Amino acid sequence: MGEIVTIQQAVMAEDEKYALRVRQMMRDSGTLMVNVIGSPGCGKTTLLEETASRAPFLFAVIEGDLETSRDAERLAAKNIEALQVNTKGCCHLEAHVVEKALAALSLDSVGVLFVENVGNLVCPAEFDLGEDFKVAVASTPEGADKPLKYPMLFVQAEAVLLTKVDLLPHVRFDKELFLRDVRSLNPKCPVIELDLISGAGVEEWVSFLSGRLEEKRAHGQG
């Protein structure tokens, strides 16, 4: 399988050129780009819906899914500018797809561009899309063993969002173990606990983003 590995490396190297171009576009427009990665159904789209009602910055979304445009429709219904990209069988987004999508989005006065990756904890962690950083979303019903099972994601993430904490009384989830394992992989990473039904935790998440956006803009002008 040596040939395959070489070809995969070539694909990833080729894609890295697109990622660099995307990163430059984000620098030029002063937009913070956040790559949101989590399992199917962990609450990624709901997170963005809830972010909309509290964020002091404008944002846009690139929605990656194999099929359907349901998530973009859900966001559009909340007046969020969202562009759906169907990956047609591919289990992750790649930078060349993002670059193409950006041609259809206006970033004028957009503070944060979210990329909601395909629901998958494996391959999305391996691809640089040109984002400022990745965020790992894990929900309590999935169980506490996810950090050690999917270390590549949790090592890279600059924030871990623990969603569905409202279900803690009803599910088997060892929060101490989860936090300990996240810290063992990524000692300084903030972990934000979210209940997206009541909105608990959303302020903390929005303030984290605002801080990162401010830093980026200060740095861009410095």
* Residues 100, 209: Cα–Cα separation, whole Å: 25
Task: With residue 24 as reference, give the H or E element that holds it.
Answer: helix 2-29
Report, in angstroms and rounded to the nearest whole number, the Rg of the chain calculated over CA atoms: 17
Name the one range near a second copy by CB under 8 A: 37-45, 53-61, 75-83, 103-111. 37-45
Kindly tell me which residue out of 7, 20, 77, 200 binds a second copy, with binding defined by CB under 8 A: 7
Q: Which two tokens stand for residue 61?
A: 């979304």
* Residues 34, 66: Cα–Cα separation, whole Å: 20
Q: Rule CB under 8 A: is residue 120 a binding residue for a second copy?
A: yes
Binding mask 75-114 for a second copy (x = CB under 8 A): --------------xxx-----------------------
Task: With residue 100 as reference, give the H or E element that holds it.
Answer: helix 95-102
Amino acid identity, residue 54?
Answer: R
- Touching a second copy, residues 161-200 (CB under 8 A): 164, 166-167, 170-171
Q: Rule CB under 8 A: is residue 41 a binding residue for a second copy?
A: yes
Kindly tell me which residue out of 123, 155, 179, 189 binds a second copy, with binding defined by CB under 8 A: 123
* Residues 23, 115: Cα–Cα separation, whole Å: 13
**DSSP code, position 136:** E
- Using CB under 8 A, list all residues that contact a second copy: 1, 3-4, 7, 11, 39-42, 65-68, 70, 89-91, 118-123, 126, 139, 141-143, 145-146, 148-152, 164, 166-167, 170-171
